[in-house]
Structure 1
Amino acid sequence: MCHARRVTSESALPSESNAACDVAALATVVATQRAELERLRNAAAVAAVLERAKGATMALTGCSADAAHEDLVRRAEDSGRTLVEQCWITLGELVPGVLPEPDPVPTGHGEPARPGSTSAVPTPRGEGPADRHDARVLARIAQALVHVRDPRELAHCLREHLAASVRADAVLIFASGPAGGLELIGHAGVTETLATQWRHVPPLSGVAALETIRTRQPCWLTDYERDSERYVLIGTPPDRWLTRAWLPVVTGDAVAALGILRTTGDPFPSATRELLLEVARMCAGRLHSFLSSPAQVDDRMTEVVRSVFEALPGPAILLTPLRSDTGRIEDYRIDAAAPYAVDVAGRRGQALVGLRILECYPTVVGESLWEGYRHTLTTGEPYEGEPFEYQEVVAGVPETTTYSVRAAKLGDALVVTWIRHDPADRQEQRTADAQRLGNLGWADWNLVTGEANWSPQAFAVLARDARRGPLPLHELPARVVPEDRPALSRAIEGLLDGGPPVDTPFRLGTSAGTRHLRLVAEAVNDADGRPLEVHGFLQDLTAQRSAELALVESERAVVTQHGALLAERTLAGRLQHALLPLPRRAQQLAGLRVDVAYLPAQSGIHVGGDWFSAIELPDGSALFVVGDVAGHGIDAVATMAQLRFTAKGMVITGSSLTGALTRLNALLLHTHDTNATATLVLARYEPERRRLVWAQAGHPPPLLLRDGSARYLQRPKGILLGAKTAPSYAEAEFHIEPGDRLLFYTDGLFERPSEGFDKGLDRLAEAALHLGTEEPGALNPLLSAMLEGERRDDVCVVAVHLPPEPA
């Protein structure tokens, strides 16, 4: 054994071999002391975080220190976190400024060092904005760590939360490998090619991550030129990351290396270094669970899975992936198998344990399920593939079978289950689906043995508990409603006498109401014609029958309604014809030729509220009235009659046009239907002066045709009848020249749902230019041009024509 000793003179120098032993001994002592110092520093940092969290909890809740400690421990256990993670979450959730001031940390140089100094032991901070920011970062990381499931997710989590605060561009996690080397167990921000190149690192000198694991000290690489001479730097090219930090993560007896790679050339400030060291301490708990005794964990999991598999009624296997040196999955080992699991060679259950998947199912490579297995191991998402055909050799004969496979991740292994779709199984499933969709079930009655066999759906159709068994055929009529028993009994007796097949409807009373059922059956006879068996099906037609009955009721209602509408239409038509007789030919009034046309609407009752009047008054003048009552039917006809006769009577007895409109408005407001409205135009023609005086109540203006042009007369003031109690009406005067034509009409002539009011009037003016005076039916060309398709409103037109003077 070599000992380090003090040398007093050159003659007392030890031999070269002894000097080497002394150096090695000194190195061992230094390493031991440094490891102990790091352990003490970690313990001090953890204790400081715990005290800060306890103090914050006490300040907020007013509890004692012991109660605050118990509360933090309980919350950590309930959430599955470490105590350090729970402390940082508690500190990060507080409002900035609530955290108490940290105590100074002794540096060993006579005065305390403030947080942020390079010589201070890293402690939790909380006094400045940057410190509060770091506390929130640590709190978010602590919360996120609870959900990571493996070292690779841990690397992605750290990169996501440290990208903004420390400008981390990539994260690598190395664990101690076999023979003192390194194993890359997690990475983020690097390509898969680079990760594969550095997945296994031999125990070489000049590897910063390996040095960090050996010394348990952080390694800060901030000078690329100098660091590249001393270390083998990761990267292609390596100058992609100009600064790097390698941090020890002590997980019990093991140590991992956490690498933070940055593209920036800026050094790591002291506050950033302290933040990263705290992050490394927080990751210790998660890495410990990932790295501690994996073989023992797997063995315990495998034993549990094997116990569960023994009770499974179907095939299932537990697969552990077997990877190459590059990490590629080459095969799977079967570590557990259910009794019903069988391979192509006929081996079952426990006989499959320890075999490779390619030994048992050699043709699965290249299939979609092989890629599905890999995807499930990578993402954790269950795989459930479409049914596929698999060719296997059964008793020396190739046979193609259809399978459906499902895989789920369990730790680092896969639980795989599958279903074999045999032709008989598929046919049985199709039969069951057909019965369910058709709401029918088959039934067989053996007349020799008295046994009956029903499908499950037959019990559902007859609302019978399957535990009571099938109903004998001769007892079936007794279960139906009394009115249907004779017909069903005769049908069954015919079957038992060797008669033809039957198709008989019947009703069955249940707690949910009456069901409409159907029996379709035939008898199987022996050579002598005696029935041996009756088979057929029972079908539930309740939904169909209900729809039929509803349709019949609807048809009856339609017929009744149609009769009522027809009677009302006939009555209204007769009433309107009596109230508004149409002249068969043109009339001559006060020297004017008058043509009239009336067309009822084609929808609903074909009568409405449009009307006209064209009469010669006692003084030789002519009165023209065109009106339109809103709506259709009997009420509209009644209102039309009131207005038509009242208007004529008022003008004949000497009332002015505006006075007549005012009185008609009052009449309409005081009728039984206070919601009735109407439009109206009144015109009085004096033949001596060829003067036309007219007034209107919300009605379209008359159309004047003169010298090959068409224009509408300027309407005087007037609101529709029934709109207000005190309307104001005015008269307008117009002189008719020989050859003029004047059209009075209702809005049904030009209004269309698809166009505006003005566009309809323009279309009417254009069509009226071609209006002739030939008899009979002088207005027919105009009506044909204006009315296309179904008429939704009545149409009334009065054409007044002053013939030209003789040449």
Structure 2
Amino acid sequence: MLDIAPLVRVHVDAWIAAQNDMGVCDAIARNAPVGKPTAVSAPHLPKVAGIDSAVPSPTHTATPLPGVPAAPLPPGALIQDRLAGWVSDLTTLHELTERLVRTGSLDDALHELLSAGASLVGARRGMAVLEPADGLGPATTVGFGLAHADLGTIETVPRSATSFGRILEGLPDPVAIPGPVAVPDLLGEAELDPRHREVAARLGYAASYALPLATEAAGRLGAVVWLYDEPAEPSERRRHLVGLYGRYATEHLARLLELERARVQVATVAEELLPSRLPRVPGVQLAARHRTGPQGGGDWYDALPLPEGALGLAVGSVSGTGPSALAAMGRLRASLRAYAVMEGEDPVAVLSDLELLLRLTEPARSATALFAYCEPKQRKIVLAGAGHTPPLIIGDHRTEFVETSLSAPLGMLACWEAPSVELVPAPGETVLLYTDGLLRRTGDPIDRAFARLHAAAVSVPKADRTDPAAVADHVLRTMLPDGLGDTADGEDVVLLAARFE
């Protein structure tokens, strides 16, 4: 048994604990045993990426002078040096993975992967190609230190001639996991594709190191490549570190990819449940804007032609998020269309029937709704609301909210009934229906959000007031200048604008 000082033994125990916590115990096995001191301190190190061979060796490993006996090494000095290097590597991996796990979108994660990988392999530029092997997408290319035009230039090179292309297309089996591809001297390769040589010379890179984004659990998601300005390649230690980081990044990307696909599917279902196009009714122009939240809410709108040239307009919101809310929204909208055809001239009766249906079929769910029966030729509107936000009239001479009677949402009372309201918009005025998601997305208290909505409607340019789509877009941009964003609690936003001629 070696006689190791107590301090060294404590360091060994702490290091082993850190290895177990990080889950990279294979870092020990992947490192070769320490050789003799003179072999470690060779004066001429080979040139590798990110390591300067001109930096002098540490004093305790310096080559002894000729004729002078070497000083004896302190007990455990080599073990301490090696453990210090391993602890430093583990600390670096921990910091980089912590930064990666805080990313919430595929683009952010790919940019973080490129940046962290560049520091690990000692490169300055790189690009990531996301192409899941299952073919379900999404497919994207992200650059690091490369302009959009540079990415386009690289994509003109045949994939079979690039290092990342060998990973993406080199194996016919989509389940197989390829290894990294290092090209230490691109311009020195006699068999390099002429087009690749031309692109490399134009962009100024001379070497590359490509890493697959693939694990047994996640499958093959794509590849990432880092580019060097001069002929170089990462050392074995750097390859091992970036390999560990790449496997962790692949698992994180797989989780984000699953979330992104779920969001796209929910958004697609929500759009399919809404009108594919708005009807054309003489005397009125229609425009709608619908933005689905990340989790998929139950906000909806509808516009349907009714007998004798009438028009039914409706907006509403179902409680909850996700597929169940979307299904409930589809059922509620379909039921309202049926009631509107049968007794649309009486909005109170339409909402009363809807209240009864919701209470009998889905007693645990509530909803808000507003239905308006319009006669465009007479510019007459009769509307009723159930717990819904009041419409807004926008015109050259007035911009005001419609005073509707107060009512609880559907499903909240044993029997719902509230009086309807009649209004006659002037020629050229626009009636704006919307859901409360527009107000809640601002993050302001509800009274302040209403004030912001009124101010946004007042500020609609006069030239845009002849187009209901321009009115809706202006209100949306003014209320949410930073866009809708992708916050997890983001609600749906619906606007339905009707301009009467």
TM-score bracket, normalised by the shorter chain, equals 0.5 to 0.7
CA distance in 1, matches of 2:499, 2:308: 20
**Structure 1 position 789, deviation (Å):** 2.3
**Structure 1 position 723, deviation (Å):** 2.2
User: Within 5 Å, which residues of 2 pair with 1:111-510?
Assistant: 455-462=5-12, 491-492=33-34, 494-495=35-36, 498-501=38-41
- Equivalent residue for 1:685? 374
The residue type equivalent to 2:351 in the other structure is L
1:459–1:689 Cα change, 3 Å: closer
For the 8 Å contact 1:582–1:596, the answer to whether it is kept is no
1:608–1:521 Cα change, 3 Å: farther
**Structure 1 position 790, deviation (Å):** 4.7
The residue type equivalent to 1:784 in the other structure is R
For the 8 Å contact 1:593–1:802, the answer to whether it is kept is yes
CA distance in 1, matches of 2:41, 2:91: 26
In structure 1, the gaps of 5 or more residues are 1-450, 465-480, 503-519
For the 8 Å contact 2:372–2:382, the answer to whether it is kept is yes
- Equivalent residue for 1:798? 496
User: Within 5 Å, which residues of 2 pair with 1:348-747?
Assistant: 455-462=5-12, 491-492=33-34, 494-495=35-36, 498-501=38-41, 522=61, 527=66, 533-534=72-73, 535-538=77-80, 539=83, 545=90, 548=93, 551=98, 558-581=252-275, 583=277, 588-601=280-293, 604-605=294-295, 607-654=296-343, 656-670=346-360, 675-687=364-376, 689-706=378-395, 708-747=397-436
1:521–1:651 Cα change, 3 Å: farther
- Equivalent residue for 1:207? none
The residue type equivalent to 2:260 in the other structure is L
**Structure 1 position 599, deviation (Å):** 2.9
Partner SS, residue 780 of structure 1: helix
CA distance in 2, matches of 1:695, 1:763: 24
- Over the matched positions of the two proteins, sequence identity in percent amounts to 23
The residue type equivalent to 1:568 in the other structure is A
Instruction: Output one character per residue of 1:723-773: Cα deviation in whole Å (capped at 9) or x when no partner.
Output: 234333332222334333211111233446653323322332232234411
- Equivalent residue for 1:237? none
Q: Whose radius of gyration is greater, 1 or 2? A: 1
- Equivalent residue for 1:789? 482
For the 8 Å contact 1:703–1:744, the answer to whether it is kept is yes
The residue type equivalent to 2:388 in the other structure is H
For the 8 Å contact 2:288–2:469, the answer to whether it is kept is no
For the 8 Å contact 1:719–1:728, the answer to whether it is kept is no
1:650–1:546 Cα change, 3 Å: farther
- Equivalent residue for 1:247? none
For the 8 Å contact 1:661–1:729, the answer to whether it is kept is no
Instruction: Output one character per residue of 1:230-283: Cα deviation in whole Å (capped at 9) or x when no partner.
Output: xxxxxxxxxxxxxxxxxxxxxxxxxxxxxxxxxxxxxxxxxxxxxxxxxxxxxx
CA distance in 2, matches of 1:501, 1:455: 24
In structure 2, the gaps of 5 or more residues are 15-23, 43-58, 99-244, 485-489
1:644–1:757 Cα change, 3 Å: same
**Structure 1 position 638, deviation (Å):** 1.9
**Structure 1 position 636, deviation (Å):** 2.7
For the 8 Å contact 2:432–2:496, the answer to whether it is kept is yes
**Structure 1 position 647, deviation (Å):** 0.7
- The TM-score with structure 1 as length reference comes to 0.34
For the 8 Å contact 2:318–2:325, the answer to whether it is kept is yes
Instruction: Output one character per residue of 1:29-56: Cα deviation in whole Å (capped at 9) or x when no partner.
Output: xxxxxxxxxxxxxxxxxxxxxxxxxxxx
For the 8 Å contact 1:590–1:616, the answer to whether it is kept is no
1:760–1:495 Cα change, 3 Å: same
1:668–1:554 Cα change, 3 Å: farther
CA distance in 1, matches of 2:442, 2:250: 34
Instruction: Output one character per residue of 1:387-439: Cα deviation in whole Å (capped at 9) or x when no partner.
Output: xxxxxxxxxxxxxxxxxxxxxxxxxxxxxxxxxxxxxxxxxxxxxxxxxxxxx
- Equivalent residue for 1:143? none
Partner SS, residue 779 of structure 1: helix
1:556–1:749 Cα change, 3 Å: same
1:544–1:729 Cα change, 3 Å: farther
CA RMSD of aligned residues (A): 4.0
Partner SS, residue 286 of structure 2: strand
The residue type equivalent to 2:491 in the other structure is D
1:594–1:452 Cα change, 3 Å: closer
**Structure 1 position 623, deviation (Å):** 0.2
- The TM-score with structure 2 as length reference comes to 0.52
1:686–1:454 Cα change, 3 Å: same
The residue type equivalent to 2:347 in the other structure is L
**Structure 1 position 692, deviation (Å):** 1.5
**Structure 1 position 573, deviation (Å):** 1.8
CA distance in 1, matches of 2:349, 2:340: 9
The residue type equivalent to 1:714 in the other structure is E
**Structure 1 position 782, deviation (Å):** 2.4
For the 8 Å contact 2:281–2:305, the answer to whether it is kept is yes
**Structure 1 position 598, deviation (Å):** 2.1
Instruction: Output one character per residue of 1:615-635: Cα deviation in whole Å (capped at 9) or x when no partner.
Output: 111332100001122344323
- Equivalent residue for 2:56? none
The residue type equivalent to 2:349 in the other structure is G
CA distance in 2, matches of 1:765, 1:565: 36
- Equivalent residue for 1:120? none
For the 8 Å contact 2:429–2:500, the answer to whether it is kept is yes
Partner SS, residue 8 of structure 2: helix
Higher relative contact order (CA 8 A, sep 6+): 2
The residue type equivalent to 1:536 in the other structure is L
1:766–1:582 Cα change, 3 Å: farther
CA distance in 1, matches of 2:251, 2:30: 31
CA distance in 2, matches of 1:785, 1:487: 58
For the 8 Å contact 1:704–1:742, the answer to whether it is kept is yes
Partner SS, residue 738 of structure 1: coil
CA distance in 2, matches of 1:613, 1:776: 16
Match of 1:773 among 466, 489, 493: 466
For the 8 Å contact 1:625–1:680, the answer to whether it is kept is yes
1:546–1:726 Cα change, 3 Å: farther
1:668–1:547 Cα change, 3 Å: farther
**Structure 1 position 546, deviation (Å):** 8.4
Q: Which protein has the bigger strand share?
A: 1
**Structure 1 position 694, deviation (Å):** 1.0
Instruction: Output one character per residue of 1:308-332: Cα deviation in whole Å (capped at 9) or x when no partner.
Output: xxxxxxxxxxxxxxxxxxxxxxxxx
The residue type equivalent to 1:710 in the other structure is T
For the 8 Å contact 1:678–1:721, the answer to whether it is kept is yes
